[in-house]
Amino acid sequence: MALRRLDFRGFTGNRRALREALPRPEDEQDRSSAGVAEIIAEVRRDGDAALRRLTSKFDKVDLDELRVPESEVQAALRRIPAELQEALDVAHDRILAYHAHEAGSSAPDDFESGGINVSHLIRPVSRAGCYAPGGRARYPSTVLMCAVPAQVAGVDEIVLCVPPGPDGHVDDATLAAASVAGIKEVYRVGGAQAIAAMAYGTASIDPVDVIVGPGNRYVAEAKRQVSGLVGVASAFAGPSEVVVIAGPDTPTELAAIDLVVQAEHGPDGLAWLITWSEAVAEAVSAHVDRIVKDSPRRGDLEATLGAGGYAVVVDGPKQAMAIANIVAPEHLEILTHNARSLLSQVTSAGAVFLGPMSPASVGDYLAGPNHVLPTNRTARFASALRVDDFRRHIHAVTVSEKALEVLGPYVVTLAESEGLPAHAQSVRLRWSR
């Protein structure tokens, strides 16, 4: 079968024109999204029963037990040919050595093993989209938090979308932050529609490679839906969250104001107090009531605290940390005087603030680390926005003739075990040269 030929000699269009001119695969996301949504809903509803039905439907196999017994897993290793087991061992050890080298390097450098050299290339994305919320408040700080790491990464083009105010304009503080950050493209578009525009492109807005920035639940859901078409950093950066851990020595007024700080962002967030002191729980709750009553943002505070405000009383610090890790909050404040002693127990949080003098507000503005953080329990697997969210890591492999002679047979064995003869032949052909 002849290969389709493309000729762009003399092409003078810009990057967008070139992208449009190149053939693109069918949008599998659009075509498959409804079917996948049905499958996910079925599994969420029926669990194992759904898995068995779907396996029967798609794989034509009826299963009683879904889990493969460990004894069967171990027995398989004994049943395979010795040369395949050896090839798996060699592959495992080499993969382990490379990734251990990668994890242990403060700066990526070349990895050399058995005649194979792996160079590490870091390349920024070409175009990044930043979203800064509007409506209830303005967030020039978010503009800086999104744009600065993109600049450090080396991104050429940075785009900002922000909802317009009632007069159709973007407020001066936000625009000033864009100027300070060197952003030249600012669009007065907000909500899910802004995310769609940056992902797919419009006549006015060229599509981007990565979208970053927090927003309400609609913005967060829009980012989830376009993820895969574009990179979406800091998983589900949605409504604001805080868990405040307080002991008998915690100044209760400080705990209360820090709960209110995050609730101030508006509905759909959460503000949890966790303490092993009944007296602290009562005092903090009383302080919160007074702060809310006197706040000019009383409506937002009542909406958030009414749905997501909790005071949790526990047996002690260990249980408090266990609950905090389950909640996996965007902000975790440990406002005890021995806060650092509890840090080793933290496994899931977007950012941690230690001690009574370390409010999350400092992190919101100028501590240095990013305030675009994972919410909705995605801190179980996601992290704060960082420079690497705007970069790709590419490895470049060089194989010596001797290495291909020594390691090539393992490649052939593994390829043949997977039923991929061309993979094996690509090595054999080089042996004969």
Catalytic residues: 330-331
Cα–Cα distance, 216 to 290 (Å, whole number): 27
Asked if 284 and 311 touch (Cβ cutoff 8 Å), the reply is: yes
Determine contact, residues 394/123, Cβ cutoff 8 Å. Answer: yes
Q: What does the alpha-carbon distance between residue 243 and residue 248 come to, in Å, rounded to a whole number?
A: 17
Q: What is the 3-state secondary structure (H, E, C) of 386-414?
A: CHHHHEEEEEEEEECHHHHHHHHHHHHHH
The size of the chain, in residues, is 433
Structure tokens at 337: 């005087």
Name the DSSP class of 156: S
Q: In this structure, what is the dihedral angle of CA atoms 350, 356, 362, 363, given to the nearest 10 degrees?
A: -10
| Of residues 271, 265, 266, the one with CA closest to residue 246 | 271
Tally of helices (H runs) and strands (E runs) in the chain: 17, 13
DSSP conformational letter for 152: H
Q: Which residues of 396-425 are buried (b: 16+ CB within 10 A; e: fewer)?
A: eeebeeeebeebbbbbbbbbbeeeeeeebe
Alpha-carbon gap, residue 143 to 149, rounded angstroms: 11
In the block, which residue shows the tokens 């407020």? 171
Rounded CA-CA distance 371/23 in Å is 39
Q: How far apart are CA 298 and CA 266, in angstroms?
A: 10
How far is residue 246's CA from residue 4's CA, in Å, rounded to a whole number? 66
Q: Do the beta carbons of residue 139 and residue 194 sit within 8 Å?
A: no
Name the DSSP class of 4: P
- Is 133 buried (19+), middle (13-18) or exposed (0-12) by CB count in 10 A? buried
Phi-psi group of 60: left, alpha or beta (phi > 0 → left; psi -120 to 50 → alpha; rest → beta): left
Reduce the DSSP state of residue 343 to 3 states and report it. helix
Best CA proximity match to 411, nearest among 398, 401, 426, 399 = 426
